[in-house]
């Protein structure tokens, strides 16, 4: 069933488990996300960035909404990294049931102002809002944040921000970063910071940049002709611990990008004569389903629907 972000995340925070919020850009990714959630009896969020909306528009949103409506588990459609009030409202008009306004690259006051505006409008329409305080490293779609400008979320500021904006859930910067190269070796996750923020707040917390970049997938990517440097993601146990402390929404995009590309490359390498799209995109869907299943087990959302 199609529900709001709060319907999924408030129980997740209370139950100390995480719910994957997976980025989609086409039908096969959407099917892999929702069908795996149904098979594992897991709530799930499907998210579209502004780039995905540019790429697939209402056509893609309708695929998500229809699958979500028919799903036997709770599914929310979420706007990832909404960059403006207009973008958030446009998504709500398209049928999104959860929207992020990401004004975290502004100063505190401007972030509060921008977030508050979206919260008031979205709540008037019964839609949940995610906002962000702190800055991740890596590339957030259109914003390149290099390490020196990244800053972790201050717990006291988070309390003020939540009070002043009324945001439903809050993305916090705790050491993760977007993309396949999350720092040299094992990225440092500031669990103490998560625990502190969670102890002072009661709303669901969000971790961006939470792909695990499984080495098995990276090796298959290279073996099938892909080229990638020394890619690294968030260790499963670090993510698992984060959900114990209060992280309820966990954003995953890179893992699905790698998994789908592995499926496609392997299909084409195995049979150069193949040109039936079902035999090329079908394997992508299968590899993504395996990666999604692993993530749901790490987050503890299996059986929670
Ligand atoms: O935070 C993310 C995705 O992060 P990854 O690059 O780690 O999948 N989307 O908003
Ligand atoms: Ca941001
Ligand atoms: Na988001
Ligand atoms: Zn993100």
Residue 1 confidence class, pLDDT cut points 50, 70, 90: very high
Q: Round to whole Å and give the CA distance between 213 and 128.
A: 29
User: Residue 9 CA: which ligand is closest?
Assistant: 3
* pTM for the model: 0.96
Q: Lowest-confidence range among 50-54, 91-95, 136-140, 153-157?
A: 136-140
Average pLDDT over residues 40-46: 99
Kindly report each contact of residues 116-123 with a partner whose C-beta sits within 8 Å and lies 24 or more positions away, as own/partner: 116/164, 116/165, 116/166, 117/85, 118/82, 118/85, 118/88, 118/89, 119/165, 119/166, 119/167, 119/168, 120/166, 121/85, 121/88, 121/89, 121/92, 122/88, 122/92, 123/166
Give the pairing of strands 205-207 and 44-49. Answer: unpaired
Q: Go through the domains of the chain in sequence order and give each one's CATH number.
A: 5-299 (3.20.20.70)
Residue nearest to atom 4 of ligand 1 (CA): 209
Catalytic site residue 146? no
Average pLDDT over residues 54-58: 98
Most informative mutation of 23, 242, 291 for ligand 1 (most atoms within 8 A of CB): 23
| pLDDT (tens digit per residue) in 161-179 | 999 999 999 999 998 999 9
């Amino acid at each position: 069933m199609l529900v709001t972000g709060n319907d999924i995340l408030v129980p997740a925070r209370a139950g100390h488990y995480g719910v994957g919020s997976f980025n989609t850009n086409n039908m096969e990714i959407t099917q892999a996300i929702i069908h795996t959630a149904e098979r594992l009896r897991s709530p799930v969020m499907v998210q579209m960035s502004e780039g995905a909306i540019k790429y697939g528009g209402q056509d893609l949103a309708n695929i998500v909404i229809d699958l979500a409506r028919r799903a036997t588990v709770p599914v929310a459609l979420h706007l990832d990294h909404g960059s403006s009030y207009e973008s958030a409202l446009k998504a709500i008009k398209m049928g999104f049931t959860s929207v992020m306004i990401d004004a975290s690259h502004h100063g505190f006051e401007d972030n509060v102002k921008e977030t508050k505006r979206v919260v008031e409008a979205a709540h008037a329409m019964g839609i949940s809002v995610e906002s962000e305080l702190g800055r991740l490293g890596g590339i957030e779609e259109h914003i390149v944040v290099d390490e020196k400008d990244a800053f972790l979320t201050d717990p006291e500021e988070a309390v003020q921000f939540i009070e002043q904006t009324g945001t439903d859930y809050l993305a916090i910067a705790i050491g993760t970063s977007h993309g396949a190269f999350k720092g040299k070796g094992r990225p440092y996750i500031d669990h103490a910071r998560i625990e502190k923020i969670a102890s002072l707040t009661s709303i669901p917390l969000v971790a961006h940049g939470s792909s695990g970049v499984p080495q098995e997938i990276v090796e298959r990517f290279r073996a099938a002709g892909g080229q990638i440097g020394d890619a690294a993601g968030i260790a499963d146990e670090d993510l698992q611990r984060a959900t114990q402390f209060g992280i309820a929404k966990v954003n995953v995009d890179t893992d699905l990008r790698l998994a789908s590309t592995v499926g496609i490359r392997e299909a084409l390498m195995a049979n150069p004569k193949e040109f039936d799209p079902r035999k090329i995109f079908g394997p992508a869907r299968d590899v993504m389903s395996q990666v999604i299943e692993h993530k749901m087990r790490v987050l503890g959302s299996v059986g929670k629907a």
